[in-house]
Chain A
Amino acid sequence: METALKKSELVARLRSDIAALQGFRAPALGVKQDDFGLGPVMKAFPQGVFPRVGMHEFISQSAEQTAATSGFMAALAGKMMKQDGLCLWLGTRRTVYPFGLSQFGVSPDRVIFVDLKKDKDLLWAIEEALKCDALSAVIGEIKELNLTESRRLQLTAEESKVTGLLHRVSPRLSNPVAAVCRWRISPLPGVTDHVLPGIGFPRWQVQVEKVRNGEPGSWPLEFRDGSFELIDESVSFHQYISKAG
């Protein structure tokens, strides 16, 4: 028993050493960490801290997933921007409707859209944007990306400490890229009760497929009143309504 305990302690210590060697800094005590209200998803991250520094990769394969991912990314960016931040949204074939972002806690006038004409300019533009540490977040919509290109972006982001959210819209192959985290967001049907009309709040299956030094997992989340909530399947609709107040 004792040896087992020691073993687990040893493993934990080794893990934190490895994390430190890999450039992950443990949060200083007393510093308030952003958790973005992600709740259970935070368990996936090393030491339960959302990795602000680096690139997050999102993959979507269909138009529905693309919309769900855009919504989730907007919600995340909204949390990062807080009240006065600015964010850059880069892409070549943008379909995001700025007006729709306001439902995810983002003031659309705080988002600067860069609609490039050539794919060739996109990588350069994302890198330039990541270098600017005055930005709260950089969102890039890109189709294809290889390991070398992503490594370059990741290094830039690590240096400037800007969070990059990279949305790979229906890539031909989901090759591994250098990023702290790979997400896949798929839409889930809304609340299944016929008491009220309408389609309910956005619901997503949030899947963390890969995460550096963390535990991948999958959670059903709902975005309601500006925060993420874990969906508890056992709660009925009426309880849910009364819980929501």
Chain B
Amino acid sequence: MKRYVAIWLRHLLVDRVLLIRPELDGKPFVLAAKERNRMVVKASSRDALKLGIEVGMVLADARAVQPELEVLDYDPSLPEKLLHALAEWAIRYSPLVAIDLPDGLILDATGCAHLWGSEAAYLKDIATRLKASGYDVRTAMADTIGAAWAVSRYSRAFPIIPPGEQLSALLQLPPHALRLEAAVIEKMQKLGLYQIKSFIYMPPSVLRRRFGQATLDQIGKALGTMHEAFEPVCPAEPYQERLSSLEPIQTAAGIEIAIQKLLEKLCERLVKDGKGARQAVLRCYRIDGEIQQVQIGTSGPSCSASHMFKLFELKIASIEPALGIELFVMEAPVVEPLANAQETLWDLSSGNKITRIAELIDRLSARAGTGVIHRYLPAQHHWPERAITEATTLNDQPEIEWRTDQHRPVQLLAEPERIIVSAPVPDYPPMLFRYKGDIHRIKKADGPNRIEQEWWIDDGMHRDYYAVEDEQGGRYWIFRLGHYNEELSAEWFIHGFFA
């Protein structure tokens, strides 16, 4: 059996404006936006509402009612942003929180309320906390999203609907409470169906014929005979551990203990399932409503609490506890099966070695940032820049052999650099070249070794490579781009140094 909580923030935008600009309190003001070439009121403060300025009114009419009306810009993306932030905050009440545009939140409170003592205490805590932060709030709890929504908006009765009693709670409410389309509601008003009880007992076939299938669906959702989709803001992670603290935690030592405890629990579950974490995220919920987040990644699936703790240890300094942290949530969003178990059976020492090296690499990338670790595998390309490809994990093995018959330099410039060359005969190695102001007289040369540009990957001319050695024994890899041309002088580049 499910339990849902609907939270209705009736004056969401207005309350938000008052939080930012408290001097507007007690004055009539509206939020307006342009709609079909005229300004329309999108939200109206309590004082403006008292004067009869409703949402949907044209701004000119509102100004006629109250000439000193303060008009603020309406940002259409603001409600969603605000609700998202509030939904993240509300995760302290339930891991599953959904946004209900334009002005509400839905919590899947199944199995959560007993942590607050009772459902009444649970709802009261939500309401008092939101009210304390300045929001006008109404809440309700029921077995279905539809019923909770209806009661929070349209009922003055006690907001906790006992399990299975959705129908009796809905009977007295107007049809609006079923979240019907405006046209349907208008029709019902015309027909004199002012309360749900006046039509809910009608046979479904009649309702469908008169008001459409959508109406039947909404009734089904409110009564629980039909399933309603629920899209949580943060999808529940299968590997998540929570630790709430009695007293807000402010010290590094306290955070360390919390991380250790969470990791132990998390790793215990991972080991049981034969999985290892590739990524772990720690979220710290502060008492001022902010969330601090740190993240670590591992180069191979890990279920070692001590190793992951070492990685988090490097990040503790970046957590700002401010007034204190009341809840820690540790998640492993990316997990992979532990594959090494089999290998370690026959090669204990080497398996152990790989783990230790993987742990070292995790430490390095945790401190120096991602993208510092590179490991390369051979690729089937002759073009030097493409002859190697990056490996994604430590365990990737080359699919083809490394070629040793190709003479390749040990140092390769990231970009080939232009050099000035004098060559006696076309397609002969040059006599000398000038690089960075030094003249190198070539004594020995090997080439040309033509490497074609792979036309299916990139445009461009081929390169004729020469391995050359100068008088001092320095060895260089130089190339000419393209064919010899009568009119243009050939373009020569240096690309690397041989050992």
* Residues of A in contact with B (beta carbons under 8 Å apart): 62-64, 66-68, 70-72, 74, 84, 86, 88, 95-104, 107-109, 111-118, 121, 124-125, 128-129, 131-135, 186-190, 197-200, 202-204, 223
Contact = CB atoms under 8 A, between A and B. Distances in A.
Given A84-B350, A86-B357, A112-B373, A99 B475 contact: no
A114 B408 contact: no
A97 B408 contact: yes
A134 B403 contact: no
A183 B421 CA distance: 34
Closest 5 pairs (CB-CB, A-B): A71-B499, A97-B412, A67-B497, A64-B474, A134-B353
B409 to A, nearest CB: 5
Contact of A109 (B376, B387, B404): B376
B367 interface: yes
Q: DSSP class of B's interface residues: helix, strand, loop or mixed? A: mixed
A102 B471 contact: no
B444 interface: yes
B368 A200 contact: no
A134 B369 contact: no
B356 interface: yes
B298 to A, nearest CB: 15
Given A67-B475, A97-B412, A112-B361, A102 B404 contact: yes
Given A67-B411, A99-B408, A100-B410, A132 B360 contact: yes
B496 A97 contact: yes
Contacts of A200: 444
Contacts of B373: 112-114
Contacts of B375: 109, 111-113
Interface range for B: 35 or more
A72 B498 CA distance: 11
A197 B473 contact: no
Nearest to B374: A113
B497 A64 contact: yes
A226 B140 CA distance: 78
A125 B408 contact: no
Contacts of B444: 189-190, 198-200
Nearest to A103: B404
Contacts of B77: none
14 contacts: A67-B475, A72-B499, A99-B384, A99-B387, A100-B410, A103-B407, A112-B373, A114-B374, A117-B369, A133-B356, A188-B473, A189-B443, A197-B446, A199-B446
